[in-house]
Structure 1
Amino acid sequence: MNRVVHFEIPAVKADRAVKFYETAFGWKIEKWAGPMDYWNITTGSDREPGINGAIMSVDGAIKQVVNTIGVEDLGKAAEKVVSTGGKRVSPDQTVPGIGYFAYFTDTEGNPFGLMQNAPNAK
């Protein structure tokens, strides 16, 4: 079974969103060192139930909170999503040191991501 493993909150002004979530919920938020404006969120201890996420700068099609689902094989999962009525909204992307990722929408137009864990991804 594939589980939600991450969430993304879009922001027009990321610094404003960072301040809000840090202050309102006590989340730890740090700018990612990667090639895009992205801030990793730690929502609590790994011993507690829940998931971590990120704040991302709004850059186009995705303007809603996005949940990311962990999958074993991005290609196979993408095929299944499309064959059951979902739509791909981004090409596959490599996240160095993390894995492979793509955005989709479900049959109702809700966005979500698929992430294949691959720590050696470059």
Structure 2
Amino acid sequence: MKRQIEEPGADTPISTYICTIDVPDIDKYLDRIQKHGGKVTMEKSSIPGIGWLAYCLDTEKNIFGIMQPDMNAR
């Protein structure tokens, strides 16, 4: 979906919901995202007892998250 407003700057806070997708292997998906022209904006981070989370930009600069459930994440 094409962005309807100007692209936010690096210091612009996020003031909207970030769609986050459940994935079985976060490292595999981060690699695939970058190979297809997307960018990782927040590297994989652990949420202890929950899983792994990363934020990315698609090719039209829309932000989205991916999360791998992992009860052993620390």
Give the alignment's Cα RMSD to 1 decimal. 1.4
The aligned amino acid for 2:65 is G
Structure 2 stretches of 5 or more lacking a match?
Answer: 1-10
Identify which of structures 1 and 2 has the higher relative contact order when contacts are C-alpha pairs closer than 8 Å and 6+ apart: 2
**Number of corresponding residues:** 63
1:81 to 15, 33, 38: 33
Q: In 2, Cα distance between the equivalents of 1:61 and 1:88?
A: 17
Gap regions ≥5 residues in structure 1: 1-59
Higher helix share: 1
The residue matched to 1:66 in structure 2 has which SS?
Answer: coil
Q: Percent identity?
A: 38
Q: 1:74 to 1:61 in 2, by over 3 A?
A: farther
- Following TM superposition, the consecutive aligned residue runs of length 4 or more in structure 1 with deviations greater than 4 angstroms are none
Residue identity in the other structure for 2:32: K
Q: Which has the larger radius of gyration?
A: 1
Q: Distance in 2 between matches of 1:113 and 1:120?
A: 20
